[in-house]
Amino acid sequence: MEYIKGMDISSYQEMLDKGYKYFDCNDNQIDILEYAIEKGFNYARVRIWNNPSNIPESGGYCSFDETLKLAKRIKELGIPYLLDFHYSDWWADPGNQKKPKEWAYLDGKDLINAVYEYTKDVLNKLAENNVSPSMVQVGNEIRCGMLWPDGSTEDYRTLAKLINAGIRGVRDSENGSDIKIMLHLDQGGRYHYFEQWFDAMIRNGVEDFDIIGLSYYPFWHGTYQDLDETLTKLEERYHKDLIVAEVAYGYRLGDDSLFGKGQERLGGFKASEDGQFDALQIISGIINGVKNNRGKGFFYWEPFMRAENPSSWGYCMGIVDEDGKPLKTLELMDTAFPIGIDEARHLYSELEYSDNCNEPVGGINIINNSGFASDLSNWSYEKPSNVSYEIKTIDDVDTLCFQSKGNVYFSLHQKVQAKETGNYSLVVEYKGDNTTGVCVKPFIQFPEYRRETNIYPSDKMWTRGIIDISLTEGAQVEVGIAIDSPEIKGAIRNIGLYLRS
């Protein structure tokens, strides 16, 4: 298999329908897919939703009809494609694995059969049109399961049956024996999740797959060294081909909900054209260096998506700029990727990540038991049954460590009264996993409204969240931190409300 330089082009038609145009460096209008292939992309990736017409926000894109249209276009262009089954009417990811509307009341054998028949039917219809995919994903980012609640990872046995149903649907379809099957998880830099998941799947009879797919975004899923170690261990343990099925990096800053200063700090490079290029070079080299030629390549996620809203992916994460002109990553795709593993390791070893918790916090802390002195006295918390926690001493600081099993909402809070009129700062330090759907928010709750900020966590460095407010003497507020997330690990320390003046 040629080293894959893939592009997820699922929103291609949507971009055209919205009126976006694309240009070369000389301002000539181009067909962006033809241009991308000319520049070195050699594989496409396309997602399919069961019935997106059930979700008005989808615009009806990624339906079977839209998929067939795009598959025909890809065939005209002469490259293979990966078909990504979400098994949902809209987005499926670690925090969202909702059944399609037509399957909402199915369970047991009926749900298993629906997965099988749907998968086979889609692939047979594509085969009838002579546009079969070369590769298929059975589910999208399914670390936490799929088709909830039946296929959650709280029941690996049922999840395995659903995955095997999808695999059988591929194999029993026309051309199914020629299609490579991928199982795809997020958290590409955190090996422990992969070992736990794949061991459980294999133990429950999932064996007929060819490729382990990983999502790896360096501002969410660990350091480049973490990715390197994960791929090395996966090859050693499972002897499967490995593909980074989703990767991207910002060429400019968006807002803090997507790619702001917090994510830039974790990603290792400035949000710039060069920063994007350098990040992808390192990732391509790490993949290229997997032993036994098991590292098969990457897919850049939605490289041609466009948007004016700084909260949107297309605003800052593509490989064309805001005017639709190619960035360095696109122009040099053929020659610059992949680099060698030694060069990649040298480049990432030179990176320095900044911990933003080095500066001491000034002022008087008015929170009781802010250091979790061996217990949670003075604190209130909402902790569902799928969360476990313990207080550990880490770096000589008492730290509240927690781990969730499945989706979780975890809140820790305390009511306090201002001792005097002045300026106060809520300060929280947090360390933990990050991925799609992770939301970590320190907050101050007033009687009439709520102030909150986002923390963009790393599992290697502490990240500090700060909210500045003014309070009058005797004012009562509730302060704390809330975590709304797929399955993760996290830690909280040094939480305080400090009187600054």
Catalytically annotated residues: 141, 246
Tell me the residue type at 207.
Answer: E
With beta carbons less than 8 A apart as the criterion, state whether 434 and 486 touch: no
With beta carbons less than 8 A apart as the criterion, state whether 129 and 74 touch: no
Distance CA 363, CA 228 (A): 42
CA 190 to chain centre: 12
Helix, strand or coil for residue 104? coil
Q: Which tokens go with 420?
A: 């005097």
Residue 103 neighbours by CB under 8 Å, 6+ apart:
50, 111, 114, 147
With beta carbons less than 8 A apart as the criterion, state whether 269 and 279 touch: yes
Give the DSSP H/E element, type plus range, for residue 397: strand 397-404
Helix, strand or coil for residue 197? helix
Length of the chain counted residue by residue:
501
**Angle (nearest 5°) at CA 495 between 491 and 498:** 165
Give the DSSP per-residue string, 140-159: SS-TTBSSBTTTBTT-HHHH
Report the C-alpha dihedral over residues 51, 103, 47, 269, rounded to 10 degrees: 120
With beta carbons less than 8 A apart as the criterion, state whether 418 and 473 touch: yes
Handedness of CA 254, 256, 258, 262 (dihedral sign): positive
Distance CA 93, CA 435 (A): 10
Distance CA 403, CA 422 (A): 37
User: Cis link prior to 56 (omega < 30° from 0)?
Assistant: no
With beta carbons less than 8 A apart as the criterion, state whether 192 and 150 touch: no
Distance CA 103, CA 119 (A): 14
Distance CA 217, CA 347 (A): 17
Distance CA 478, CA 488 (A): 25
Instruction: Tell me, letter by letter, the H, E, C secondary structure of 257-302.
Output: CCCCHHHHHHHCCCCCHHHHHHHHHHHHHHHHCCHHHCEEEEEECC
**Cβ neighbours of 484 (radius 10 Å):** 15
Q: At how many degrees (to 10) do helices 224-238 and 341-349 cross?
A: 140
What is the rounded end-to-end Cα distance, in angstroms, of the chain?
65
